[in-house]
Amino acid sequence: MTSPLRLYLDQNYLSGIAKRKPAFCELEPVLRQAVDRGAVEVLESVVHEEESLPRPDLRLPELLHGLSGGRRLPAEPGRAGREARRRMAWTIEHEFPERPGRASDVADLDALAGALIHCDLIACDAFMADVVRRARLDLRYRCEHLMRRDPQMDARADPSSQPLASQKHLQCRGFGEGEPCHVHNRVCLANRDAREMPIIQRQR
């Protein structure tokens, strides 16, 4: 039996679902169906707790717990996580020297440092996904990204449609009904056998 894929959702995805933004509303049922069928496991982190504090009205911890069932990333990143964080920070500093730092960068780095080591899929914005790829950490840890486009990186991006690629990609990963995948630009669910689908799973 194929093991569930472990998924990390960044705070922007959770906030989008909680605020009932249109495109996130389309993503949420696909994700919940995947969780209910045991195809995917959502993991919580300490970073989620910290980033949820400014907006208690959104009830993000409750939303996340309903998806995760209490599954969590380790509280400490460990040696591999610290090395991954160092490489991402170096990449931002040296490959994006003109980019001004953001208050959220520290939390993003902390979150991804743990998620890369322990998850198969990560839902995050396009900038951090690019940082991970440039650092070649996606190859090292065999982790895929469900990207939320950054309007600053793509001036034509419609913010309301940013998660749709993630929705279709979730479907192509075996979580949906075989809809065309906007990431792979084809129907990836032709064969549900994990040995023949383009799913890379790390040996744990």
Dump pLDDT digits (tens) for 10-47: 998 899 999 998 878 888 888 898 899 898 999 999 99
In single-letter form, the type of residue at position 15 comes to: S
Q: 75 or 153, which is more confident?
A: 75
- In DSSP terms, 123 is beta-bridged to 9, 146
| Under 8 Å between Cβ of 8 and 115 | yes
The topology under which CATH files domain 5-148 is Rossmann fold (3.40.50)
Quote the tokens at residue 8. Answer: 């990390």
**How does the average pLDDT of the chain come out, rounded?**
77
Under 8 Å between Cβ of 5 and 120: yes
Reported as a pLDDT band with limits 50, 70 and 90, residue 1 is: low
Which pLDDT belongs to residue 109? 95
Residue 81 has a pLDDT of 94
Q: What per-residue confidence (pLDDT) applies to 169? A: 55
Q: What is the pTM of this model?
A: 0.74
Residue 63: in which H helix or E strand, if any?
helix 60-68
Q: What is the pLDDT of residues 38-87, one digit of tens each?
A: 989 999 999 999 999 999 999 999 999 999 999 999 988 899 999 999 99
